[in-house]
Structure 1
Amino acid sequence: MSTITVPLPQNLDLKGNLKKNWEKFRLLWDSYVTLTELDKKDEKIQVATFVTCIGPEALEIHNNLPYENAVDHTKIAKIMSLWEAYCIGHTNVIYERYKFNNCTQEPNEMFDKFVVKLRISASSCEYGTLKDQMIRDLIVCGIASRNTQKKLLQTVDLDLPKCINICKAAEVATAQIKGMSDQSAEVHAVRYNPRTRCHKRKWVEDCRYCGRSHEADKMKCPAYDQSCSKCGNMNHFAVKCKTKWK
């Protein structure tokens, strides 16, 4: 029976939003522990594996965490708890809220993508039970369509699900109207293209050069470029010749 080698989680990223980076690392770490059954091994091995995973840049922080005694250095649960407190405590909530409150829908940005951006940003703001209300408010304030914004402001008892449904429906309707308008413009261009118009042809009755009927175009006249059998001159027949017989 072949053994599956499970790679170590990536090192803990100490740059940017430390809370989010820790949550990502913790998820990978827990998965690694489950797949390798690391939690069934000696605690020293668990600690050594964790230290290896967090990476060399995190070692100084690791060694200076507020351990209560020497034994804490060897307890994986205590180490994880101290790291979590450190990472969450170092999140600047004011700055995270500043970034959240400045989120707006970019030009050509799909509404679903805009909502995901707001949800991710709000997750670091510690709004608690107010999170959905804050996201709703940012949608109303930051949505690109002024018509949709007006509709949201006119809606009574607007909660987040209702707000999202209105915006999605408006986006779909706008795309459909644009598609219909573009198609109508193409049909109009084909119907009214001057090159496709059929002009009524003009005719000459009893042509003064040939005596026949034909289109009002000298090139269409049977006598054009023909010599008269009566006088020998060009571009008319004898029946219309004005030269008198000698």
Structure 2
Amino acid sequence: MPFVFRQDDLPRLDLQVDRGSDFMAWQSQWESYMSLSGLFEESAAKKVQALNLCFSRETLSSVQNLGLSDTKKEDVAAIISNIKKYIDGHINESVERKNFRRRTQQPGESFDDFLVALHELVKTCNFCSDNSTRKNLRDQIIEGILDGNTVEELLQEKDLSLTRAIQIFQAQEMAKRQCASMSTGHQDSLAAVRNSPPLRRSHSAKRHPTFLKPAQDVVASHTLEVCRSKPAQRDAKPTSAGANPLSLLSTIRHIAATDPAPKITLTITSLNGSTSATVLPDSGADISAAS
């Protein structure tokens, strides 16, 4: 693949900022750039030119003052190796380890974020081996975590590894998140029920305004029509067997309020006798009577 130069694709390096783990991250980006851009197959001089464009002006000045021989100045790997030695010489191992030991989990900080911060700090501690680095990470996790109950659980395990410690802390934190989410959802449901509007009854018909009147006014102002035909006289004689029974009804003899509620007592007298019933006046329903 032919090399196509684009300066914006170059990974930038500033030795005033990019030290320790940041420099190692830049080094990984540089190697990826050389492979993907095709620069790896170009001449050594072109590689050095591209590398120089990665540096800030202050960084380039520092590299030129490293005292490299002319041969090393033409070798990208030699230049990067000497830059690393320069950075390591400016790193105080005791200070870096002290910063690592002082790092604890902050209130509100997740375990994963805390773990990432420890990984960044341990890179410049220069522990003697990878095994030593992992043990120091495990110990600092136990020392710096805020969850005392989980720490007690970890201390009960023999031969606790870094991987096992991470798994336990992550599982505990996930369980707490799920419990908090369930509790929040339950509280939201209760709040929604409390804040919901009260149910209203639907009425098929409006209440008649006469129900608000006293019983006496109701009796005085309303007339119940028992039937639409002319009422029969009290002394009228029975009609033939096929006559309409409604013709036997007579006039309403008594209408009176029986209690403070809007009710009346209806007495109907016919040739066969009389009957009484308590009814609601003007309820909207038709009144019919038959013998």
Using the size of structure 1 for normalisation, the TM-score is 0.68
Shift of 1:65: 1.0
Q: Which of 174, 177, 180 does residue 178 from structure 1 map onto?
A: 180
The 1:21/1:185 distance shift into structure 2, 3 A limit, reads: closer
SS in 1 for 2:258: helix
Q: Secondary structure at the match of 1:109?
A: coil
CA apart distance, 1:178: 2.6
Q: How does 1:75-90 map to 2 (within 5 A)?
A: 75-90=75-90
AA of the residue aligned to 1:35? L
Deviates more, 1:130-139 or 1:21-30: 21-30
Q: Are 2:149 and 1:147 aligned?
A: yes
1:43 is matched with 44
Structure 2: gaps of 5 or more residues: 199-209, 221-255, 261-291
Q: Aligned AA for 1:100?
A: F
CA distance 1:41–1:104, shift in 2 (3 Å): same
Q: Specify the code of the residue in structure 2 equivalent to 1:12.
A: L
Answer yes or no: is the 8 Å Cα contact 1:66–1:82 preserved in 2: no
Report the counterpart of residue 204 of structure 1 in structure 2. none
Q: Distance in 1 between matches of 2:77 and 2:165?
A: 42
Report the 3-state secondary structure (helix = DSSP H, G, I; strand = E; otherwise coil) of the residue aligned with 2:126.
coil
Letter of the 2:53 partner, please give it.
T
User: Given that residues 134 and 162 in structure 2 are in contact (C-alpha distance below 8 angstroms), is that contact kept between their aligned partners in structure 1?
Assistant: yes
Residue 227 of structure 2 is aligned to residue 239 of structure 1: no
Whole-angstrom distance in 2 between the partners of 1:77 and 1:86: 14
Q: Structure 2 vs 1, CA of residues 165 and 41 (structure 1 numbering), >3 Å: closer, same or farther? A: closer
Counterpart for residue 169 of structure 2: 167
Say if 1:146 and 1:49 are closer, same or farther in 2 by CA, change over 3 A.
same
The residue type equivalent to 1:171 in the other structure is E
Q: Percent identity?
A: 28
From the CA coordinates, give the structure whose radius of gyration is larger. 2
Question: Quick one: distance in 2 between partners of 1:112 and 1:141?
Answer: 16
Matched residue count: 213
Q: Secondary structure at the match of 1:228?
A: helix
State whether residues 3 and 37 of structure 2, in contact with CA within 8 Å, keep that contact through their aligned partners in structure 1.
no
CA–CA separation in structure 1 for the residues paired with 2:157 and 2:176: 19
8 Å contact kept, 2:20–2:123: no
Would you say the 8 A contact 2:47–2:76 is kept in 1?
yes
* Amino acid paired to 1:16: V
Task: Report whether the alignment pairs 1:126 with 2:145.
Answer: no
- Matched with 1:107 is 107
Distance 1:181 1:71, change over 3 A: closer
Cα distance, 1:238–1:111 mapped onto 2, change above 3 Å: same
Matched residue, 2:26: 25
Aligned position for 1:117: 117
Structure 1 residue 65 corresponds to structure 2 residue 66: yes
Provide the C-alpha distance between the structure 1 equivalents of 2:36 and 2:180, rounded to a whole number of angstroms. 51
Q: Which has more strand, going by share of residues?
A: 2
Higher percent of residues as helix? 1
1:15 corresponds in structure 2 to 16
Unpaired stretches in structure 1, ≥5 consecutive residues: 197-221, 242-246
Which range moved further: 104-113 or 131-140? 104-113
Whether contact under 8 Å (1:122, 1:131) holds in the other structure is yes
> TM-score, normalised on structure 2?
0.59
Query: Hey, what's the Cα distance between the residues in 1 that align with 2:186 and 2:43?
Result: 73
Distance in 1 (alpha carbons) for counterparts of 2:2 and 2:81: 35
Query: Which stretch of the first structure deviates more once superposed, 140-149 or 40-49?
Result: 40-49
Cross-structure match for 1:228: 216
User: Aligned partners of 1:34 and 1:164: how far apart in 2?
Assistant: 34
Residue 114 of structure 1: how far off its partner (Å):
1.9
Which AA in structure 2 matches 1:66? G
Q: Contact 1:12–1:54 (CA<8 Å) still a contact in 2? A: yes
Q: Which amino acid aligns with 2:92?
A: N
2:271 is matched with: none
